[in-house]
Structure 1
Amino acid sequence: MDLSNKTQENVELMIEAIKNKLRMASGAAMQSSSFSVDQYDDILDIYHLVMSKPTLSISEVEAVASEFGRLRRK
């Protein structure tokens, strides 16, 4: 996956990968269609953080979910 291009497709791929890693099946707050390319850099930062950790604590998962709630399109 080439994340150097700021595309909606890459946004969607990152969101789905993060949801899978966090095991957020419902993930209503993290529907990829709720995010735009304008937030690409923030999403990429979260993606790298989540993917770099073998596991995440409950508080880390909550923090990621909270950040995605903040980034969602209004």
Structure 2
Amino acid sequence: MAKPNKKLPTRTVDIFCRRCKGQLFKYHKGGKGSLVKCFKERIAVDYTTELGVCPHCQQVFGRDTLVRGTPALKMIGTKVTMK
């Protein structure tokens, strides 16, 4: 399978916890679809202390995984929102 593009998309989105509305990170997102996975190399600013866990309410919002051979966070259902 193809790896994600090395050139980062120019558009950044803010990712928030759905429960407490705390900001989790800024992410270089490509495409128009919903947020299913976040490649770690595309995270611009990380506000979390532990990867995949909200620093404010301690809710687990993502799982550490490999997608197309690249480290990524697989988002859990509707636990995050983006603006």
* TM-score between both structures, scaled by the size of structure 1: 0.24
* TM-score between both structures, scaled by the size of structure 2: 0.23
